[in-house]
Amino acid sequence: MKAAVLTISDSVSEGTREDVSGPALRARLEKAGWSAILGLVPDEAGRIAHRIREWADSGEIDAVFTTGGTGIALRDVTPEATRSVVDREIPGIAEWMRHQGMQKTPRAILSRAVAGTRARCVIINLPGSPGGACESLDSVLELLPHMIDLLRGNTEHGNAR
């Protein structure tokens, strides 16, 4: 499976801060057997939406993971950008990540992350902190192969519970 990881950060885009979350997510995905590419955009809804759309529509990417811009700061526009490009939302994914995150910090409830699909691609917003991003990814990682199978038209569920 192939993933794209999009870091969304003004300061990383400006070169005043190093991207730690994107490489951490790529390493976590590669450890799980995925291949992953990285991208970077500032906190601008149009640029975020364009990059997600570009990857999802390529037919080469099974999942797009964003990191950053999911909070309540004025420049946090990742959820709005994501909603503008997904065909269907999957609210349970974001709800589960928030629930799991609250086991570590009550601040996880402030996440406005969105998850959904566009064509045959899964799109999931993750927090901007490396720890929160990886923990959120870990909480849904085992579901992703099944989700991708379903998007590819493999709808047999076997003995799934």
**Domain ranges across the chain:** 2-151
Contact between 132 and 108 (Cβ < 8 Å) = yes
Predicted local confidence at residue 132, as pLDDT: 96
The verdict on pTM exceeding 0.75 is yes
8 in helix, strand or coil?
A: strand
pLDDT for 63 = 98
pLDDT of residue 155: 86
Sequence-ordered alpha helix ranges (H) in 32-118: 45-57, 78-83, 91-102
Q: What is the pLDDT of residue 158?
A: 62
For 55, 75, 161, the CA distances from 71, given in Å and listed in that order, are 23, 9, 33
Based on its alpha-carbon atoms, the radius of gyration of the chain, rounded to whole angstroms, reads 15
What architecture is the 2-151 domain classified under in CATH? 3-Layer(aba) Sandwich (3.40)
Q: What is the pLDDT of residue 76?
A: 97
What does each of the 161 residues of the chain score in pLDDT, given as a tens digit?
A: 999 999 999 999 999 999 999 999 999 999 999 999 999 999 999 999 999 999 999 999 999 999 999 999 999 999 999 999 999 999 999 999 999 999 999 999 999 999 999 999 999 999 999 999 999 999 999 999 999 999 999 987 665 55
